[in-house]
Structure 1
Amino acid sequence: MRLGPFGRCAAAMITPFTEDGALDPAGAERLADHLVARGGCDALVINGTTGESPTTSDAEKTALTRAVTSAVGGRAKVVAGVGTADTRHSVELARAAQAAGADGLLVVTPYYSRPTQEAIVQHLLTVADATELPVMLYDIPARTGEGTALTADSLRRLAEHPKIVAVKDCSFDLLKAGTVLADTELAYYAGSDELNLPLLAIGASGVVSTAANVVGAQVRAVIDAFAAGERETAARRHRALLPLVSALTVHAPGTVTVKALFRAAGLPGGPVRPPLLPADEELTARLATALRGAVAQP
């Protein structure tokens, strides 16, 4: 496996809130320590999709970054999401993340205004120029719109920037990913758990995993087996996680389902913010059953 700049197993960490909906920095510290010390994670990606970044304020994003970096104390890389649909705002968030101690930036392609590929490239280059931190591009057209999917040509151009070093890939486009891996030095990270092993097989460096919030050790075990050349073991472990991956993503967003499991387990999480709605009892029970099955696998 290619050694990536942000570890091998990163959790796409939820953002803990108190019961009244405020940011819970103390809970974030406990959760970050748990994911690193016992969850097998060597990186944490915060203020991203699973972290409810559309509904947290700039001040909350900065406070979360400070709390998480303080908690892990260099034991894991902390990558802060700073991408928005506004280039100036993204630059401000990037600088704030650097000041708060982040090790890297996650920058999603700009959404809603439907910029051209050239505009997307210029947006991402501008954010990369704003700090000294390494950048992980976030290619997730299902949430930003098909027109904002990074093309292979755009990725090749962006790879020439010295601070753009990685991609969190949620494009579901293995052809594009394989082509860019062959043509550039960009480190790829699977951003959709069902594609963790397929992307590793074509050269990815690791994962940014929603499932790692609840089964980090099992997600890491897939990566470790693959890295050790134990392909059949990696495939078996990957397949064993798929029922849980399905339960976490098919019936509600990952934020909702992870927080439901955390509530049941007494871990920091708290409520989701509107417009998201909490999981009902039926979904929570289904999630708990899937989780028990995943952790029971050898």
Structure 2
Amino acid sequence: MPDSFRRALTGIHAATIVPMREDFSIDEDALAEHISWVSNSPGIQGLLINGHAGENFVLDRSEKRRVVEIARAASPRGCLIVSGVNAESSLEAAKEAAAIESAGADGLLIFPPNSWALGHCEEAIFVHHQQIRAATSVPLLLYGAPVGAGAMAYSSRVLEHLAADERIVGIKEGSWEVASYEANLRLLHALRPDFIVLGSGDEHLLTSYIIGSAGSQVSLAAVVPDLVAELWSAASGGDWVRARAVHERLYPLAVSIYRDPPGGRATARLKAALKILGRLNCDAMRPPQPRASSQEYRAIERALSHAVSDPHARAKSQPTSAIPSPTTL
């Protein structure tokens, strides 16, 4: 597998959202604008599209292919585009992966089917990845699911088996738990020193960078790309004082988007944050997820006020008009 892909995969890669219209159709113009803004932000090395932030579990195959086409057209030349593959059926996942590759994706991130949270045998994991591998030719990445996501997180034995495949070049390490992150990092680097481990827990990026990371694929970088890129720049340069200062600005925002209950609300909150910043007009979500509530908006607005110190960025925000009234929810 080309070393150029591994090199391009380092640094900060923004996991983008997919703007929807009120009728739940994809707003392609708004998507192109979002992709262009994020991918052209200083310090952003590439994109993760069709990820969880991009509502990949409610898009069909043709829509995911179209998202790739729009991302390729709207991003600058040389921007690395990795697309998620997320389907319950391995046969459908393989067809989806082939369609996404033909649309221009540079690599594929294989998500475990959501049904695996209830339990599965290890052989099912291997079969799923093999089906996608056989249908494609681009580099593949694993998704390390949160340890709290039922049975979705991979065991060390599964990681050893998957990492033996040279087509699989890295992992979006989303264990969301520091001890598991470090254990997986050490295991994978012991097996393959060139294996790319991306620290992708938005709440503990600084901790991941201290332990060791090649970069991140994170949706927080689709809202405040400059700050996430600054955090990585400071950490990768060993300037831990500056990194800690950036972390202090980012942490309340990460909590308001990813940690505050109830769970499963990150994408709706990302859209709310973008609307507050004047970067998104419509915050509609595909059912069954509702858009962000007025309470969620207020928490995100407070966190953004703490994070965004650039007066030009503040001028773009629309906090009063962006927060929905209870009657609109």
Task: State TM-score, norm by structure 1.
Answer: 0.91
Where do residues 103-252 of structure 1 align in structure 2 (5 Å cutoff)?
Answer: 103-112=106-115, 114-141=119-146, 145-171=149-175, 172=177, 173-174=180-181, 175-184=183-192, 185-249=194-258, 250-251=260-261
Give the residue type in structure 2 aligned to 1:122. Answer: V
Give the residue type in structure 2 aligned to 1:9. Answer: I
Give the residue type in structure 2 aligned to 1:132. Answer: S
Aligned equivalent of 1:257: 269
Question: Offset at 1:63?
Answer: 0.7
Question: Offset at 1:68?
Answer: 0.5
CA distance in 2: counterparts of 1:220 and 1:182, whole angstroms: 28
Give the residue type in structure 1 aligned to 2:223. Answer: V
CA distance in 2: counterparts of 1:73 and 1:15, whole angstroms: 18
Question: Offset at 1:266?
Answer: 3.1
Identify the structure with bigger relative contact order (alpha carbons < 8 Å, sequence gap 6+): 1
Aligned equivalent of 2:314: none
CA distance in 1: counterparts of 2:42 and 2:21, whole angstroms: 22
CA distance in 1: counterparts of 2:120 and 2:93, whole angstroms: 15
Q: Which has the larger radius of gyration?
A: 2
Give the residue type in structure 2 aligned to 1:160. Answer: A
Give structure 1 regions of 4+ aligned residues with deviation exceeding 3 angstroms: none
Contact 1:7 1:77 in 2 (8 A): no
Q: Which runs of 5+ in 1 are unaligned?
A: none
CA distance in 1: counterparts of 2:126 and 2:217, whole angstroms: 23
Aligned residue pairs, count: 294
Question: Offset at 1:142?
Answer: 5.5
Contact 1:188 1:205 in 2 (8 A): yes
Map Cα deviations across residues 42-62 of structure 1 (whole Å, 9 max, x no partner).
111111111111111111111
Give the residue type in structure 2 aligned to 1:292. Answer: S
Question: Offset at 1:112?
Answer: 1.3
CA distance in 2: counterparts of 1:129 and 1:13, whole angstroms: 27
CA distance in 2: counterparts of 1:293 and 1:39, whole angstroms: 21
Give the residue type in structure 1 aligned to 2:124. Answer: A
Contact 2:41 2:226 in 1 (8 A): yes
* 2:304 is the alignment partner of 1:277: no
CA distance in 2: counterparts of 1:212 and 1:258, whole angstroms: 10
1:51 aligned to which of 51, 54, 73 = 54
Question: Offset at 1:133?
Answer: 0.9
Contact 1:5 1:165 in 2 (8 A): no
Give the residue type in structure 2 aligned to 1:290. Answer: A
CA distance in 2: counterparts of 1:17 and 1:213, whole angstroms: 16
Distance 1:124 1:181, change over 3 A: same
Contact 2:8 2:45 in 1 (8 A): no
Structure 1, 150-159 or 53-62: larger mean CA deviation: 150-159
Aligned-residue CA RMSD (Å): 2.0
* 2:28 is the alignment partner of 1:30: no
CA distance in 1: counterparts of 2:303 and 2:129, whole angstroms: 38
Question: Offset at 1:265?
Answer: 3.1
Give the residue type in structure 2 aligned to 1:183. Answer: L
Question: Offset at 1:15?
Answer: 0.8
Question: Offset at 1:260?
Answer: 1.0
Aligned equivalent of 1:60: 63
Where do residues 78-93 of structure 1 align in structure 2 (5 Å cutoff)?
Answer: 78-93=81-96
Aligned equivalent of 2:299: 286
Question: Offset at 1:237?
Answer: 1.6
Contact 2:209 2:236 in 1 (8 A): no
Map Cα deviations across residues 58-90 of structure 1 (whole Å, 9 max, x no partner).
111111110011111434211111132211111
Q: Which runs of 5+ in 2 are unaligned?
A: 1-5, 311-329
